[in-house]
Amino acid sequence: MPPKSKRPFKVPGCKVMKGLSRNDKVIKKTREVCTMHEYMYLLSIENCTNTFLFGLRSHLRGSDNRSVLVYGNNKLQQVALGKGPKNELKEGVSRILKQLKFEKALLFTDLSDTQKGPEIF
């Protein structure tokens, strides 16, 4: 058997990219969630694990609390909800999106502060 440096190997013909269809799905889902819910909260997440997010999402999906947590893809969320006041999906969303950087998540819910909305944190 020849040494590793002399062995033949396959060279890929092209680089596989994620494509725009994935981005379009994320944008469409974010817009749907925003139009379905009345309130939107910006959450700062530090040192979180997947198990924490999984537990949080399962708690939010409960029968009495229909809320959605959108985490990740900050730029796509900004595009979906409108970057400026001219093209924002709902009034005042662009002010929140300016702060959407680094480890932040959006919580969409129909519960206000007085109805014990973000008390689970």
Q: What is the pLDDT along the chain (121 residues), one digit of tens a residue?
A: 778 888 887 777 777 766 678 888 888 988 998 888 888 888 888 877 778 778 877 777 775 667 888 887 888 888 888 877 888 888 888 888 888 888 888 888 887 666 654 455 5
Q: Where are the domains of the chain?
A: 20-112
DSSP at 41 = E
Stated pTM of the model: 0.69
The confidence score (pLDDT) of residue 103 equals: 84
- Distance from C-alpha of 17 to C-alpha of 2, rounded to nearest angstrom: 34
> Is the torsion defined by CA of 85, 110, 54, 48 positive or negative?
positive
Q: Which CATH number fits domain 20-112: 3.40.50.2300, 3.30.70.1730, 3.40.50.170, 3.40.50.970?
A: 3.30.70.1730
- Distance from C-alpha of 114 to C-alpha of 77, rounded to nearest angstrom: 27
CB atoms inside a 10 Å sphere around CB 109: 19
The label of the residue with tokens 């001219």 reads: 86
CB atoms inside a 10 Å sphere around CB 83: 15
- Distance from C-alpha of 38 to C-alpha of 108, rounded to nearest angstrom: 7
